[in-house]
Amino acid sequence: MGEFIKFVDVTKCDGCRACMVACKNWNDLPAEPEEFHGSMQSHEALTANTWNIITYDEHERADGGFDWLFRHAACLHCTTAGCELACPENAISHTEFGSVVIDNDLCVGCGYCVQGCYFDVIQLATYKDQKGKEYRLAQKCDLCTSRLENGLQPACVTACHTDCLVFGDKQSVLRDAEARLAVVKERYPNANIYNPPGIDGTATVYLLAEKPSVYGLPENPQAKLSQVIWKDIAQPVGKLMAGATTAGILAAMAVQGALKFKNRGKEGEDHHE
């Protein structure tokens, strides 16, 4: 199977929020009403139950003109994902579609993934079990992986009426993105393709009208060496050592049990004599 990406051309977005509604409906996410906070933006940030928002930024151009800059904000599905590197339970992984998903059966709600995310996307949701005890689970956009598995497009993509969102073959989409960038640069000289090399790219690629920082995105996110060491070296070695320790304890118990059994046999022989 080839590689796929979701391409977001922010210059085509009109801020309609249809993608937000589609995301809520498909993933059965609860509504999260917010008080007015002085902005046209409906939600201040992504949450564990709001996986997709449209950000609104007022921007004054160098020529004195004024623009509203919109951005469809959701999980970028990093190739080298900070959340995946930070997870101690291997609850976060990549699918064949490049999407980064969470296994709720393995998630323990520790929150390390929240700290590890480069884009403040993944968050913890609080639930209660049948006994009323609270527990937490990490949640975020999964690129509608269940739809992809059935040959469908992500829900947000199907809802977009301006073709701001496109999902398809990576190489083909990126070629079209470069062609579109050349056109956009005539109006926005700072326009760029945002696909950070420091994390080996993402499965959600943006065409931005301005520098990433204008949209609240890090200019060049990098996978931390400590995260890589933790995931690839420290964690596996730690589990191996824990396994060896457990095996050692079990072996010692077995030897001790065998010696006790042997001694009992000797005591029986002595008593018989």
Say what the pLDDT of residue 237 is: 58
* Domain residue ranges of the chain, discontinuous segments joined by +: 4-81+140-223, 224-273
CB burial of residue 264 (10 Å; 0-12, 13-18, 19+): exposed
Residue 250's pLDDT is 44
Q: Distance between CA atoms of 224 and 234, rounded to whole angstroms? A: 14
Can you read off the two tokens belonging to residue 152?
């469908």
Q: What is the pLDDT of residue 232?
A: 59
List of the chain residues with pLDDT < 50:
242, 244-252, 254-255, 257-259, 261-262, 271-273
- Cα–Cα distance for residue pair 245/153, rounded to 1 Å: 48
pTM for this model (two decimals): 0.82
Residue 43's identity, in one-letter code, is H
Q: Measuring CA to CA, which residue among 101, 53, 45 is closest to residue 73?
A: 53
Q: What integer pLDDT is reported at residue 223 of this predicted model?
A: 83
Tell me which CATH code domain 4-81+140-223 carries: 3.30.70.20
pLDDT for 264: 54
pLDDT digit string (tens) for 86-110? 999 999 999 999 999 999 999 999 9
Residue pair 99/203 in contact by the 8 Å Cβ criterion = yes
For the chain, give the DSSP string.
---EEEEEEGGG-----HHHHHHHHHHTPPP------SSS-S-SS-BTTB--EEEEEEEE-TTS-EEEEEEEE----BSS-HHHHH-TT--EEE-TTS-EEE-TTT-----HHHHH-SSS--EEEEEE-TTS-EEEEEE---TTHHHHTTTPPPHHHHH-SSS-EEEEEHHHHHHHHHHHHHHHTTT-TT-EEE--GGGT-BSEEEEESS-GGGGT--SS----HHHHHIIIIIHHHHHHHHHHHHHHHHHHHHHHHHHHHHHHHHHHHHHH-
Query: Long-range contacts made by residues 214-221, C-beta under 8 angstroms, separation at least 24?
Result: 214/57, 214/59, 214/69, 215/10, 215/55, 215/57, 215/69, 215/71, 216/55, 216/57, 217/119, 218/118, 218/119, 220/196, 221/78, 221/118, 221/119, 221/196
* Edge-to-edge strands, sheet with 192-194: 165-169, 4-9, 204-208, 192-194
Residue 229: predicted pLDDT: 61
Position 258 scores a pLDDT of 46
Asked whether the beta carbons of 99 and 145 are under 8 A apart, the reply is yes
